[in-house]
Amino acid sequence: MGRTIIATDKAPAAIGPYAQANRAGDFVFTSGQIPLDPATGEIVGTTASEQTARAIENLKAVLEAAGSSLDKVIKTTVFLADIGDFAEVNGVYAKYFAGESLPSRSAVGVAGLPKGARVEIEAIAIIS
């Protein structure tokens, strides 16, 4: 099974030595997406809700570039700079992931995230 590096200008460029995602067989593995504006590279929003929406939109763009979509996500990991933001993040997350397409998920409180972001989300999805 080979792999293909995924890159799109509809999501922020990597801010380090990594790919936005890798496709391997029928799976795509994304790097964590933080709430960066793809055009400016600057953080979008100040609240956990605003930042979660932007991070998921970035994730969506990467998945689509790989031939997948949010409804094909099977696992996410959510990293929170403040675990106290969990309920607020969950409220936005539920607008994107609901019904029959609920992925498995882990949520982790961390000491800090790149560029001072409040949330980072990575995913594993199927491609069909």
Listed by start position, the domains of the chain span: 3-126
CA dist 13 and 73 (Å) reads 21
**Taking 90 as the threshold, does the pLDDT of residue 2 lie above it?**
no
Q: What is the pLDDT of residue 101?
A: 80
Distances (CA, A) of 34 to 24, 83, 99, 105: 23, 16, 25, 17
Kindly indicate whether the domain formed by 3-126 is annotated with CATH number 2.40.50.140.
no
pTM score: 0.96
Average the pLDDT over 37-44 and give the result. Answer: 96
Average the pLDDT over 40-66 and give the result. Answer: 97
